[in-house]
């Protein structure tokens, strides 16, 4: 039982990170109807920028951990958002009203560019950082000596995710930008006729998605203590899987899918085999889609005849 509880905690933390990335996929899909294959790499860039900012701050003598974290978070979000914005401008906007496969391949190309850009710019080797946040709580100590632990970093990941999710839900539901986003999602032509700046709204969607991915990248850095140029691919595919599992286009779905993928992966690794944890995650996705072709919380597609 203790072992299970520990795996549950680990799974939820991993799932939170996936969920943060998945929101970016789902938002972009909702508004422009394309898979942003480069989103996983945006997450990776976010991780790198967090790492570099952290190194600089430490070497100029900053020692207060909360201040460092806040600055790293802000810089990483700011610069990564600009990546999201630029990619949309260069690779997607010219193809906005084009055939569906063209922007998707453009996105795959962009993903290659970003992966190899950071390989060229920062080298191929894994970049480790010493643990920044240490300590934690022992929740329960079993008779066999196995202790269920909740580390501070896990708490930070989960709390950050919850706060961002709340903020984001508020943004979509209550602000002018959110209303514009929902309008563009329904009908871009009509939205622009009613005075919504469609280009700006789409840009902002990419910016917000990238900012959330940057947070995920930073969390990943803090949690696993390393980044490398290739991590965007695997994390991207997992998050994309999560978004689809939850029902692409649905924000709660993305979070739910993220948590589920994180849990499936962790529990499978804990009880069955580490090697096949990804196979398990993908297989469950396929099985779910056989029965719910639009994911768990996706709107069922009504076939208009």
Binding positions for another protein, 119-138, rule CB under 8 A:
119-123, 125-129
| Direct distance between the N- and C-terminal alpha carbons of the chain, in angstroms, rounded to an integer | 52
Binding test (CB under 8 A) with another protein, winner from 115, 161, 188, 266: 115
Q: Binding of another protein at residue 272 (CB under 8 A)?
A: no
Q: Are the beta carbons of 22 and 212 closer than 8 angstroms?
A: no
Residue 29 parent element (H or E): helix 2-32
Q: Which residues ranging from 3 to 32 are in contact with another protein (CB under 8 A)?
A: 29
For another protein, the binding residues in 175-214 under the rule CB under 8 A are none
Kindly tell me which residue out of 136, 142, 293, 300 binds another protein, with binding defined by CB under 8 A.
Answer: 293
Is the separation of the CB atoms in 89 and 81 below 8 Å?
no
Cβ neighbours of residue 93 under 8 Å, at least 6 residues apart?
A: 199, 202
Among 12, 51, 164, 254, binds another protein (CB under 8 A): 51
CA 208 vs CA 26, 42, 83, 178, 201: distances in Å? 12, 12, 11, 11, 10
Q: Is 217 in the site for another protein (CB under 8 A)?
A: no
Q: Is 295 in the site for another protein (CB under 8 A)?
A: yes
Q: Which of 146, 177, 233, 270 binds another protein (CB under 8 A)?
A: 233
**Binding piece for another protein, criterion CB under 8 A, among 134-142, 163-171, 201-209, 274-282:** 274-282
Cα separation, 247 vs 245, in Å, equals 5
**Least distance CB 98 / another protein (angstroms):** 4
């Amino acid at each position: 039982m203790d072992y299970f509880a520990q795996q549950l905690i680990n799974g939820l933390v991993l799932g939170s990170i996936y969920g943060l990335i998945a929101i970016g996929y789902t938002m972009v899909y909702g508004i422009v109807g394309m898979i942003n294959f480069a989103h996983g790499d945006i997450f990776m860039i976010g991780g790198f920028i967090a790492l570099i900012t952290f190194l600089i701050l430490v070497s100029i003598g900053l020692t207060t951990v909360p201040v460092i974290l806040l600055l790293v978070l802000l810089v990483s979000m700011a610069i990564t958002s600009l990546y999201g914005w630029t990619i949309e401008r260069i690779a997607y906007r010219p193809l906005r009203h084009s055939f569906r496969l063209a922007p998707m391949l453009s996105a795959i190309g962009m993903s290659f560019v970003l992966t190899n850009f950071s390989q060229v710019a920062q080298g191929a080797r894994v970049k480790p950082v010493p643990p920044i946040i240490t300590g934690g709580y022992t929740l329960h100590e079993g008779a066999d000596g196995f202790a269920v632990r909740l580390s501070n970093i896990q708490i930070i990941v989960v709390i950050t995710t919850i706060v961002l999710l709340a903020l984001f839900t508020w943004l979509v539901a209550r602000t002018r930008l959110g209303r514009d986003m929902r309008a563009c999602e329904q009908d871009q032509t009509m939205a622009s006729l009613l005075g919504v700046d469609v280009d700006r709204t789409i840009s902002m969607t990419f910016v917000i998605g990238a900012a959330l991915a940057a947070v995920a990248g930073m969390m990943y850095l803090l949690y696993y203590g390393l980044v490398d140029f290739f991590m965007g691919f695997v994390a991207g595919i997992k998050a994309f899987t999560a978004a689809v599992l939850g029902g692409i286009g649905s924000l709660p779905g993305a979070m739910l899918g993220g948590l589920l993928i994180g849990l499936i992966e962790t529990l499978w690794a804990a009880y069955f085999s580490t090697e096949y944890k990804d196979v398990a995650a993908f297989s469950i996705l396929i099985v779910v889609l056989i029965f719910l072709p639009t994911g768990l919380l996706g709107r069922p597609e009504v076939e208009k005849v």
